[in-house]
Amino acid sequence: MRPALRTALAAGLLLATATACGTQDEPNDAKPRTTLTVLAAASLTDVFKQAGAAYEQSHPDTRLKFSFAGSQELASQVRQGVPADALVTADTKTMEGLRNETSTPTTIARNRLTIATAPGNPKRIGGLADLAEPDLKVVLAAPEVPAGRYSKKVLDQQHIKVEPVSQEPNVRAVLSKVSLGEADAGIVYVTDATAARNKVATVTVPDAQNAVAAYPAATLKGSQHAEKAADFVKWLTSEEARKLLGAAGFQRP
C-alpha cells in the first residue's frame, strides 16, 4: 500500500501544481488596459464622468483618467509638458494657442451663460443689469478664464459695470461661492447651474445678450497612445456622447 500511496500523493501534487499554474496564467492572457489622461475644462466635470463610464463600457481595453481645471490652467500644463493624451477646452482661443501641441481640434459642444443665485432668488435679481447693484455680492470667473472672458464680454456689450467681490480660477469655483452663500450671484454656464439645480436658482440671460462658448477637443502630439486618444476624441462627436452632453444642458456644435 505504501508505494500506491506515494503514487497517489505524487499524482495529486502534480495536479495541484498544474491547476495553480493555470490560475496564474489567466491574468497574463487578458489584454492590458491603456490609460488615457484627458485634460478637460472644469465645466465638463459632471458630464465627462458619465461619458467616461459609457466609453469604458464599450472600450474595455481603455481606462480614462480625467484632470479638470480652468482652460487656462490646462493650457499651462500642456506647455509645461505634463503627460496627457487629449485636451478639451471651454473656448477656441485657448485651443488655438496650443496649435503646435495638438492635432486639429473638433468642436464637440456649445454652452451659454446664466446667472446663478441663492435658491429662491432672495435678492430678486431680474437680469444682468441688476448685477451692478452696489449692495449685491457678485462673483465672476477671472478674466483669463473662458467663463470670465465671456462674462466680461456680455457685461461690456450691455455697458454694465460690475465690481465682483472675487474672481475665481474656474467656473466651478464661481458656482461653489454662490451655492455656499458666500455670494449673492455669479455668472456661470447653463450646464453648471443644471448640475447644481438643487443648490442654486437661475436667471436666464436672453440670447441677444448672451455669449456662446465652444468646446473644442483634440489629441496631444506628446501622447504615448495617439491612436486610442484619437478614438476617444472621435467618440465625443458620436450620437451617444452628444445625448449625454445634451442631457447635461450642452448644445450641439
62-100 pLDDT per residue, tens = 999 999 999 999 999 999 999 999 999 999 999 999 999
Q: Right CATH number for 34-110+214-247 from 1.10.579.10, 3.40.50.620, 3.10.50.40, 3.40.190.10?
A: 3.40.190.10
Digit-coded pLDDT (tens) for 10-62? 444 433 433 333 333 334 456 689 999 999 999 999 999 999 999 999 999 99
Please give the CATH architecture assigned to the domain spanning 111-209. 3-Layer(aba) Sandwich (3.40)
pTM: 0.83
Q: 27: Cβ–Cβ under 8 A, 6 or more apart, which residues?
A: none
Q: Which H or E element spans position 221?
A: none
Where in the chain do CATH 3.40.190.10 domains reside?
34-110+214-247, 111-209
Give the separation between CA 198 and CA 69, rounded to whole angstroms. Answer: 23
